[in-house]
Amino acid sequence: MNTTYNEAMDLVAELKSSLTEELVGETGVIITPPSVFLSDVVNELVDNPFIAVAAQNCHEQDNGAYTGEISASMLASLDLDAVIIGHSERRQYFGETNESCKAKIGQALNNELAAIYCIGETLEERKSGNYMDVILSQCAEGLEGFSEEDMDNIILAYEPVWAIGTGETASPEQAQEVHAGIRAWLVERFGGEAAQDISVLYGGSCKPGNAAELFAQPDIDGGLIGGASLSAADFTAIVKARTEA
């Protein structure tokens, strides 16, 4: 819940200028503006093949009397590419569960949107030592019933909740440990080839200063960028770090 309309459109204009074909390379770039700006952002980027657009959330039902909510079909009608599901703030402040996330992922896929499914542990869960159990339960319950083919359109994003908005960052070794555990679960659930093809992003205070070190880890495929995405210069630097990784 950041930026006014003018601020958002200025940010998009800066990104269009800085994210050139040479800089982006093979890196997939997705931006997720607030819902009220989505249509104008999509229109602004219609001639730019380097930046995809996603929503920050969708509802778990097709339609109905859910005032203020947005369905996946509404998002798809705007020619969006993806939607974030189960962000830690949605789980913390709005009571989203693994079960509701599973329904939302289904809605996204049914409407030909990629789903960026967020998982991760709180500080209490990290300190308890049971954090991998928590994370793998989120994987198992949120992805229950989805096939290997479905996973072509699902991206996972690991968010150590204790490192979001706090300035704290999981060390590259801590992040890699979790990503490796997620990858091992994916191998067991979907097979080795599919597991290697599924992108697993790191989403805990990734910044220009630590991006290269994080992206150098073997199981970290990219980043789900928070505060740094509000600066075109910082976001561009992070994209550059991924391209050069």
Contact of 157 with 225, CB cutoff 8 Å: no
Residue 24 domain-assigned (yes or no): yes
Residue scoring higher pLDDT (172 or 163)? 172
Residue 35 domain-assigned (yes or no): yes
H-run or E-run covering 52: strand 52-55
Name the domain count of the chain.
1
* CATH number for the domain harbouring residue 133: 3.20.20.70
The predicted pLDDT at position 162 comes to: 86
| Sequence-separated (6 or more) residues with CB below 8 Å from residue 33 | 3, 8, 12, 41, 53
The predicted pLDDT at position 163 comes to: 80
Give the pTM.
0.96
d(CA 170, CA 162): 9
Alpha-helical regions (H) of the chain? 5-18, 21-24, 38-44, 72-76, 88-94, 98-110, 123-128, 131-142, 172-190, 192-197, 208-215, 232-244
Work out the pLDDT band at 107, boundaries 50, 70, 90. very high
Whether residue 23 has pLDDT greater than 90: yes
The predicted pLDDT at position 131 comes to: 96
Residue 128 domain-assigned (yes or no): yes
Say whether 222 sits in a helix, a strand or coil: strand
Residue 82 domain-assigned (yes or no): yes
The structure tokens 């994080």 sit at 214
Whether residue 167 has pLDDT greater than 90: no
The predicted pLDDT at position 191 comes to: 96
What is the extent of the structural domain holding 217? 5-229+235-239
The predicted pLDDT at position 19 comes to: 96
pLDDT in tens, 174-200: 999 999 999 999 999 999 999 999 999
Work out the pLDDT band at 136, boundaries 50, 70, 90. very high
Work out the pLDDT band at 224, boundaries 50, 70, 90. very high
**What percent of the chain is modeled with pLDDT above 90?**
94
Helices 232-244 and 5-18: angle between axes, nearest 10 degrees: 30
Residue 244 domain-assigned (yes or no): no
For the chain, the distance separating the N- and C-terminal CA atoms, rounded to the nearest angstrom, is 31
Given 44, 59, 60, 87, the catalytic residue: 87
The predicted pLDDT at position 165 comes to: 66
Please name the amino acid found at residue 37: F
87 is catalytic: yes
Q: What number is the average pLDDT over the span 77-83?
A: 98
Work out the pLDDT band at 123, boundaries 50, 70, 90. confident
Residue 225 domain-assigned (yes or no): yes
Residue 168 domain-assigned (yes or no): yes
| β-strand partners of 116 | 84, 155
Given 59, 121, 159, 179, the catalytic residue: 159
Residue 245 domain-assigned (yes or no): no
Whether residue 43 has pLDDT greater than 70: yes
